[in-house]
């Protein structure tokens, strides 16, 4: 319940940052759900904006709540995107993709003037270390696995829940969950992984720190972390 309250506080604070007339990206995940619910309340109160969803799940949820939607082709520049993360390090680099929407999330983040990341305290880590989701073309899956193994670590194709076979992303890709252990150079690893032919995108988001705001929900409310404001790693 405490985790849910923390996520709700962070999501609602992020939703209150949306300005009238904006085009915004809507990420995927449990914390973003609370932002979408708050945005629906603001729409009912007269807020006008358009949302660009990063997944079918987000689109369905937003549509049910009466939030107007468009595609990135309709609005290729976004005022901000609200999204979650699986891990955040003190340099505001992320691992994302547990919801298998990493490719669209990365595209929408790149199209946004600001990236608002909503998390609860356990997502803050001194060093990124959780498995890195990697979206791949099904045709190249075995080849990509071999090339990832050459970079280090181990992984496997993500299997579906309540279905046989692999998870298939909204873009038709497979997801490899690859454990590299503690990642000393997230930016370098992101570049190396995404240089492999057949990789669509990795769940390492190391290039967005300068335009990022992280809203951290906790038992007493929220705190906001901006570039250059993070404490020493030991106090993070």
Query: What are the domain boundaries of the chain?
Result: 2-122+206-224, 132-201
Residues of the chain predicted below pLDDT 70: 1-2, 230-236
The two tokens of residue 96 are 């994302």
- Distance of alpha carbon 53 from alpha carbon 57, whole angstroms: 9
Q: Sheet harboring 212-218: ordered strands across? A: 50-53, 23-26, 78-83, 112-120, 212-218, 221-225
Which residues have a Cβ under 8 Å from the Cβ of 111 and sit 6 or more positions away? 25, 72, 76, 77, 78, 81
The two tokens of residue 123 are 């997502």
pLDDT of residue 227: 87
Active-site residue, from 4, 105, 194, 210:
105
CATH class label, 2-122+206-224: alpha beta
Q: What is the dihedral of CA 156, 160, 166, 170, to 10 degrees?
A: -110
pLDDT of residue 64: 97
Is 159 an annotated catalytic residue?
A: no
CATH class label, 132-201: alpha beta
pLDDT of residue 161: 84
pLDDT of residue 183: 98
Q: How many CB atoms lie within 10 A of CB 185?
A: 10
Q: Angle at Cα 127 formed by Cα 83 and Cα 89, nearest 5°?
A: 35
């Amino acid at each position: 319940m405490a985790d849910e309250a923390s996520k709700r506080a962070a999501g609602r604070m992020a939703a209150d940052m949306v300005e009238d007339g904006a085009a915004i990206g809507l990420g995927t995940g449990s914390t973003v759900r609370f932002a979408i619910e708050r945005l629906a309340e603001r729409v009912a109160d007269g807020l006008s904006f358009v949302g660009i969803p990063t997944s079918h799940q987000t689109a369905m949820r937003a549509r049910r709540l009466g939030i107007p939607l468009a595609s990135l082709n309709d609005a290729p520049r976004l005022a901000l995107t609200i999204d979650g993360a699986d891990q955040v390090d003190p340099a505001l680099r992320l691992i994302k993709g547990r919801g298998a929407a990493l490719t669209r999330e990365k595209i929408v983040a790149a199209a946004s003037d600001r990236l608002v990341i909503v998390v609860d305290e356990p997502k803050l880590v001194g060093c990124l270390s959780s498995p890195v989701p990697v979206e791949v073309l099904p045709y190249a899956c075995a080849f990509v696995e071999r090339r990832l193994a050459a970079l280090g670590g181990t992984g496997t194709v993500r299997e579906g829940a309540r279905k046989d076979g692999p998870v298939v992303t909204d873009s038709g890709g497979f997801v490899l969950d690859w454990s590299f252990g503690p990642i000393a150079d997230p930016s370098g690893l992101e570049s190396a992984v995404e240089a492999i032919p057949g990789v669509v995108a990795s769940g390492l988001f190391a290039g967005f720190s300068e335009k990022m705001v992280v809203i951290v929900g906790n038992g007493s409310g929220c705190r906001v972390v901006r570039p250059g404001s993070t404490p020493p790693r030991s106090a993070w």
